[in-house]
Structure 1
């Protein structure tokens, strides 16, 4: 443990020198920073994934870069369930809470509580360094149970599980993304444009979402969120189950609604009509989304959102994206 503490102290010392140099010279590059960090880690005796510090993506704000640097200090710390002390070990949410506390930002203790902090981010494509990426990894007990800190380029810093150490790893497919940093000029410029009540401006097919929403009494932002989660706004998408088009209609459902799934206008109008029908039947947006994903019969049998991990995650993702587009 003394060796690990000394290593982190050495890396922290060089980190401060790098940050000072970066603030004094706009010509510093992320490659040079990464090289310096790697050299420091090697000199400290750390190797492998835990020895390589993350560097924030080009264009990151100062505060975003500070989060990445603060998280990098804990690379190599052992995982410990319930851990909040890096000299002993950290669990995933303990790491997140500690990193932001180092920057004077208070976050709740557990990953499920952290999932309610800040504001939603619609997708990983729109994530910024410093955002929280949250996961539902349990099929038996649906709910957020893991969290990491996004560092850019599809990577995060996280405390994975027992027997591992804090490390940089691929993000994969998070259930939620939350932005807890205050807005900055750099971060604000990367956010999708939003409308002022007229519709989800700044997304593909925004005018079609607005028109269909107005016709059928469905929030255009919700329609855009369904398209984002279902197909990534790809009108030619085909799923392994045979769902097609922008809004991913199964053939039987499309026929019943008189929808041409390959035509974005028809697909969006059909989805708005279908969501209106489902909302009227089940009485809530969440249940309508669950029925859109798992089928009305599954919702009726369950008497609520079915206990399927995929459906639980789907409802959260669409709801979060809709909030971001509103």
Structure 2
């Protein structure tokens, strides 16, 4: 059996396993702890003012031209496969993407076709009828060309886009974090908001609008710093213990730490999904669920959660 056939078979098995993976808990604040396992929250590297551009992505990808293709590789000094290259490039700019190509092809937002494609977009193909979903992914650099890690025996290279991609996704240059549907979110906490000074300070540090932080705190805990959910989520922002540890929050019952951690979590989700409603869905149900469904998951609680918070900030 050839290397290509082995790779296709492994991709098929991965896709089938993903179909049977249990859905994240839809309990408020609970889902993200599971999704956090094995993933780094993108709180460093990505400028909070949105200055990362598609050209930055292309420039970063060009650093790896000539590096060997290594199946399963994610080491930028030894070699990478196609999805490893995409993950490493975007991670260096502060965006944490899933590891495998078919999951990466659900990240960000869709682009209608090559006429609308921009440098930095992800181009993906489903090349094998024996697996479900994308099995090759590359980074568009403009002018009908892309950077890819092709296959064993070839190096990372620039090539012409070989055929219309099955999927095009845009990770950056999305609607401004902190707004959805053109509706602005208050930059400062409104008068009478509990913990307004802590919320405004967290907004200043993270760039997440104070109105959004306050709305999440109200929805999650009713501003009760001692709240504990049936699933074990804790404090004002209802952080699960594992999520809190990943955020460096040592005491989720401390309002200052909880608000800071919750704001940084929102920042990472806004950067990843580019829309307030999707970031809120990920806060509630986990980012993996949003990626899998390509939008707000069909969980009643998550849909109600997003509607309630969005109503508070609109």
Question: When the two structures are superposed, what TM-score results if normalisation uses the length of structure 1?
Answer: 0.38
1 or 2, which has the higher helix percentage?
Answer: 1
- Higher RCO structure (Cα 8 Å, ≥6 apart): 2
Question: When the two structures are superposed, what TM-score results if normalisation uses the length of structure 2?
Answer: 0.40
